[in-house]
Amino acid sequence: MRTLPRRLGVAIVVAAIVVLLSIKLNSFRDYQIAEIAFEVTAVAGLTVLTGLSGQISLGHAAFMAIGGYTTALLLLHLAWPFYAALLVAAVVTAVAGAVVGAAAARLRGPYLAGATLLLGVALPAIAYAWPATFGGDQGLNVAFTTPAFLGVNFPPTRWLAWVATLVALIVLVLLANLNHSRVGRNWRAVRDDDVAAALDGINVAAARILAFVVSATCAGLAGALLAIVTTLVGPGSFTLTVSISLLTAAVLGGLGSLAGALWGSLVIILVPTYVTDVATSHGLSASVGSNIPIVAYGVLLILVMLVFPQGIQGGLTRLFSLFFSGPDQKPRTWRTAPTPHVTPSADQAPASQHEKEGTL
């Protein structure tokens, strides 16, 4: 249990850094901090689902949408305080995660990918079908004010950055503890070999469903944060692109690693704006300038996956072990992305080295 104070310590240090940064930086950067905070909340949940329990979700934006719309409706119609709406959003998405997880527990690899992909596409369509409740294409506006004790002149984006960071850090600490508990061990056992896990007395279906519940709750919290940070929830906030970018961030950072979730979120949020800045400052034409970030993002994804197969965190761990503990020491296995079946045995080798019936 000595790890708990250590994790709390790390969280407090990060919180202090964020507070300092948010005071030093301008309001646009504060907004980006808030964006990174809700992004990392969702990505951390997804990395637990995919990296630790071995289930893929290509529709995680659907859970963000559930959390976001729940928050927006509660704030809009009932004028609840945000923390109460946040808790309700977490409960509602947990229930949704249980439903989806129960259906998903039977599915494997690409079939689960297909079902969740379509879930991510279909759920935001409900907003179009019932515009009276969900505001249709326009979405719902969310009013969020800074508390009175901070004074009138306190920048709202700074307060948003603080709130979002606080929620993100609480989620990360809880997830880190969960991963190291019996629950996390069960997930990894189920991921690596579900038959062996079942023989060891683990309830495989329950472990899978629980992973979906935890992951969906994180996404729901992220959606609630997105609602207050962007002051708007609409179908456009939860598109297929968002779902895909969540998975991309998780794998890019290093699947199954919470630190990796942070690296992935930083890349997803910061790289496009950075490249856009560079492109516009070089006076490129609009059609080229607006597409350069997209091209750069695509190339970056491909390169990182080919050069650092274990993601950014895996690359960092390797560098770190080179410098400090000698190349022989293996990194702790749960931190690195799972590679259970990358080299298939000869008797059941698939057509290429790609996994025969694994995650995808």
Partner 1 sequence: MVEFLQFTLSGIVFGMIYAAIALSLVLIWRGTRLLNFAQGGMAMFTTYVGIEVIYKTHSYWAGFVIALAAGLVLGAVCELTVVRPTTGKPPLNAVIVTIGLLILLEGLAGIFFGGQYRSFPAAFSIIGLRVGGTPIGVSRFDVFVAVAVLIATLALAAAFRYTAAGLRMRAAAFNATIARLSGIRVARVLTVGWALAGLLGALAGVLVSPSTFLYPNSMDAIFVYGFTAAVIGGLDSAVGAVVGGLILGVVLSYAGGYVGGSVGSDLTSLVALGILVAVLMIRPDGLFAGARMRRV
Give the binding site for partner 1 (CB under 8 A): 50, 56, 103, 106-108, 110-111, 113-115, 117-119, 121-122, 125-126, 128-129, 194-195, 198, 204, 240, 244, 247-248, 251-252, 255, 287-288, 290-302, 305-306, 309-310, 337-339, 342-343, 346, 349-356, 358-360
SS3 232: strand
The residues, any chain, with a CB within 8 Å of residue 307's CB and separated by 6 or more, are: 315
| Angle of CA points 14, 59, 250, to nearest 5° | 35
Q: How far is the CB of 138 from partner 1 (least distance, A)?
A: 14
Q: Which of 325, 102, 139 is nearest to 226 (CA)?
A: 139
Cβ burial of 302 (10 Å; 0-12, 13-18, 19+) is: exposed
Q: Which is nearer to partner 1, 14 or 121 (CB)?
A: 121
CA distance 228 to 239: 18
Residue 124 tokens, joined: 């935001």
Q: How far apart are CA 354 and CA 34, in angstroms?
A: 38
Nearer to partner 1 (CB atom), residue 19 or residue 204 = 204
- Closer Cβ to partner 1, 76 or 194, answer by number: 194
Q: Tell me how far, at minimum, the Cβ of 14 lies from partner 1, in Å.
A: 27
Nearer to partner 1, 155 or 344 (CB): 344
Distances (CA, A) of 300 to 135, 243, 271: 36, 18, 10
- Closest approach of Cβ 153 to partner 1, in Å? 41
The residue (of 21 and 205) whose beta carbon lies closer to partner 1 is 205
Neighbours of 47 (CB within 10 A): 33
- Closer CB to partner 1, residue 117 or residue 161? 117
How many Å apart are CA 334 and CA 192, to the nearest integer? 11
Rounded to a whole number of angstroms, the minimum distance from the CB of residue 120 to partner 1 is: 9
Which tokens is 250 given? 């998780």
Place of tokens 């969280």: 11
| Tokens encoding 347 | 């008797």
Residue written as tokens 């890349």? 267
Which is nearer to partner 1, 42 or 90 (by Cβ)? 42
Other Cβ atoms less than 10 A from the Cβ of 224: the count is: 36
Q: Smallest distance from the beta carbon of 337 to partner 1, in angstroms? A: 6
